[in-house]
Amino acid sequence: MRPVLLDTGVIVGWLDRSEQYHQDCVAAVQGLDGQLITCEAVLAESCYLLRAVSAAPQAVLDNVERGIFQVPFQLSRSAPAVKRVMAKYRDLRIDFADACLVCLAEEMGTGEILTLDRGFQVFRWGRHSPFRLLVSLD
């Protein structure tokens, strides 16, 4: 199975039925045959944004516990790379979680990502590889 990066917006959209892109996120996740990989920063953002949705933060953690969301990223190992990515994209106001995902893409050798963040149309992983956004919002 190929790994697919998972960003905050898709987790929130998938678990919160009131979100504008809920159906798009559900369809994108259900249509995958790859392993969902993410970082703890994405999980923290997701739990925070879902705090008012009954049982949603628990669902995030349940998905980690069941191995549906894999978390191979280690900030202690990748902090210098995250700092470089944040500096590179500071004009685009990249946030910490997105910088971690860029570094995770490099570590895992994949640019396939489930995201609602248009910044990933500009961000690059590896030397200069574009991301492939797997959620269609058009």
* Whole-number pLDDT of residue 127: 84
Structure tokens at 86: 């944040």
* Whole-number pLDDT of residue 1: 73
Task: Please state, in angstroms and as integers, the Cα–Cα distance from residue 30 to each residue in 34, 121, 130, following that order.
Answer: 10, 23, 24
The alpha carbon of residue 74 and the mean position of all alpha carbons in its chain are separated, in whole angstroms, by: 15
Does 32 reside within a domain? yes
CATH number, domain with residue 121: 3.40.50.1010
Does 74 reside within a domain? yes
Give the DSSP H/E element, type plus range, for residue 95: none
Structural domain including 124 reads: 3-133
Q: How confident is the model at residue 136 (pLDDT cuts 50, 70, 90)?
A: confident
Report whether pLDDT(138) > 70: no
Does 138 reside within a domain? no
SS3 for 104?
A: helix
Q: 121 with 109: CB under 8 angstroms?
A: no
Q: pLDDT tens digits for 98-108?
A: 999 999 999 99
Does 114 reside within a domain? yes
Structure tokens at 124: 């690059």
Q: pLDDT tens digits for 38-76?
A: 999 999 999 999 999 999 999 999 999 999 999 999 999
Q: In the chain, how many domains are there?
A: 1
